[in-house]
A and B are shown apart, each in its own frame.
Chain A
Amino acid sequence: MSQIAFLGAVELGLVFSFVAIGVYLAFRILDFPDLTVDGSFPLGAAVAAVLIIAGWNPWLATAIAMAAGAAAGLVTATLNVKFRILNLLASILTMIALFSVNLRVMGKPNVALINQDTMLTPFFGHGLSEFYVRPLFIGVLVIIAVFLVWRFLASDLGLAMRATGANPRMARAQGVNTSLHIYLGMALSNALVALGGSLFAQTNGFADVTSGVGTIVVGLAAVIIGETLFHSRLILWALVGCVIGSVLYRIAIQLALSSDILGLKASDLNLVTAVLVACALILPRLRRGRAAA
């Protein structure tokens, strides 16, 4: 694997670590199997791309993309909390609706950003190659996001949200408004996923309506790899695990792409992903089994 390919894998892994943290919030903290992310990832990309092309400041465009993602999460939460639609089904409804919404937002299936100034443009051309600038820049954003989410989950509000996911009846008995926390958690989760989408568009020069396909699998794979590596109950380690898991996932794919030795081809990627996630799920069980024996 060349250095540029390695840095590319790290960069993409960092971009998708926002997705992993979002998926962690929904699946693990709220216990809400949320497939909205397959739509909110391209939504973030679409909103940011369209606003940047319209001449908006890229930072502001990204913030609005996050707000759009949060709105998508709120739609899923409303369908579930208010209209009592099963959580998985509610998220699938939002996901398929977002395909049409994204086409409306962009006005066409693919919007190019190659010649536009993005959040990263001011950092280029200061002597450091773009291949380093991109992962460094996104890495800093990831550190900020991990810190903020960690502090949030340790706050009173965050603790109430964790109680909502862990044991909703108990939480309600303690006076926690569980509905409010599902709204809040879903908004936060999808805002992070949309941030990932808008960064993907800005680092790769395009927003495409198909770029959401399989986002949930990538996010879950990252969460599970992270949990396998750091089997810790501490929130901070779980969040760091999301980031490391996401980067490792991309490096594994890069290996699949570059390994002529193993005879793997790009068309084997889906199988590699499935095997990887299955291993990450099975390994802890084996370890536990051995400990018991």
Chain B
Amino acid sequence: MKFLTAAAIATLAFAQPALARDVTVDVTAIVEHPALDAVRDGVKDALGEAGFKVGENLTFNYESAQGNPGTAAQIARQFIGNGPDIIVPISTPSAQAVVSATRDIPIVFSAVTDPVGAQLVKQLQKPGGNVTGLSDLSPVADHVALIKEILPSVKTIGVLFNPGETNSVTLVELLKKYGAEQGIAVVESAATRSSEVQNAARALAGRVDAIYVPTDNTIVSALESAVTVAIESKLPLFTADTDSVSRGAVAALGFNYYDVGKQTGAIVVRILNGEKPGDIDINVAAGTDLVINPGAAEKVGLTLPKSVVDRATKVIQ
């Protein structure tokens, strides 16, 4: 502990130009998953662009907890024992495990929806202590607006989510709030594992005008089940995860998780260059992509309005 404190102080006090020393960055995520893996790759590439290159002056360790919080706790101890310059936990449980285990090593979390609710920090501005990071709170209000723009007659939105995922529960609450403001009712349908996604989607057929999938690990990993049901029942499927559009969603407005990783990496670089984590404000990741799939829209008897097509960042053919 003592030598760690000393090391941390030394790191901060003798911050040197980026290229002058070797650094170690340890990254962990709760589970291997396309979005979370993209964050990891973004962090690594951002470090590379700033002159910290693997094999030259950067040691980059990555461990996944395989979905098990017990393993996440052990990975946290493992990293702290290694004494890296910075730890980057991706996702809420991984971040909680790391934050509760050290008060010395700088931590830059990523892909956490509600950092204050998860008690990673006390406030978003100037968090203090050794923790900062990036939130990936989805722009749910914009999602509701997009659905209304594509489907002006929408009265009811069905949401597919896993009630066991803390980020999804936050997002569903927001969806209900913004939906109510627009006079749109929200019907919840829960799936606690990927094999239940198809049934959960079927439960929405005939009761809703559109299906919405938040950034939910369980639903996104079984998206094809939901897409099949959506096409059968002629319901447009909207997602918050842009990678899902090429898998059959009609449209998505969301983060490119590789960019989220790069923005997280930029914070890591600032700390490596001498800034204190406690002085760096926590922001919601910047930049959202609008990805559309006109073919998928056609399958459910829908034509995407020109206004949406014109501002799409990517069109899946």
Contact = CB atoms under 8 A, between A and B. Distances in A.
Contacts of A267: 32, 64, 66
B74 interface: yes
A1 B32 CA distance: 24
Most buried by B among A8, A131, A258: A8
Interface residues of A, number: 46
Give the top 6 A-B pairs by smallest Cβ distance, nearest first: A8-B77, A205-B100, A2-B81, A4-B81, A112-B119, A5-B81
Contacts of B81: 1-6, 8
B192 interface: yes
A130 B1 contact: yes
Interface in A101-152: 103, 108-110, 112-115, 129-131
Given A103-B164, A269-B66, A114 B82 contact: no
Given A129-B1, A206-B93, A266-B64, A9 B74 contact: yes
A124 to B, nearest CB: 11
B68 interface: yes
Contacts of A269: 66, 68, 71
Interface in A71-119: 99, 103, 108-110, 112-115
Contacts of A250: 74
Most buried by B among A6, A210, A253, A254: A210
Interface string B189-220: 00010000000000000000000000000000
Interface in A1-53: 1-9, 11-12, 16
Nearest to A260: B61
Contacts of B117: 112
B274 interface: no
A58 to B, nearest CB: 15
A266 B70 CA distance: 13
Interface in B63-78: 63-71, 73-78
B120 A114 contact: yes
What does DSSP make chain A's interface, helix, strand, loop or mixed? helix
B293 interface: no
B163 A109 contact: yes
Nearest to A110: B166
A9 B67 CA distance: 18
Contacts, number: 133
A15 to B, nearest CB: 9
26 contacts: A2-B78, A2-B82, A4-B80, A4-B81, A5-B74, A8-B73, A9-B77, A103-B163, A110-B96, A112-B96, A112-B118, A112-B119, A114-B99, A114-B100, A129-B2, A204-B73, A210-B68, A210-B93, A211-B68, A250-B74, A254-B74, A254-B78, A257-B74, A265-B63, A266-B71, A266-B75
A257 B82 CA distance: 12
Most buried by B among A115, A204, A257, A258: A204
Contacts of B97: 204-206
A208 interface: yes
A206 B96 contact: yes
A214 interface: yes
Contact of A204 (B32, B69, B80): B69
B69 A208 contact: yes
Interface string B29-67: 000100000000000000000000000000000011111
A174 interface: no
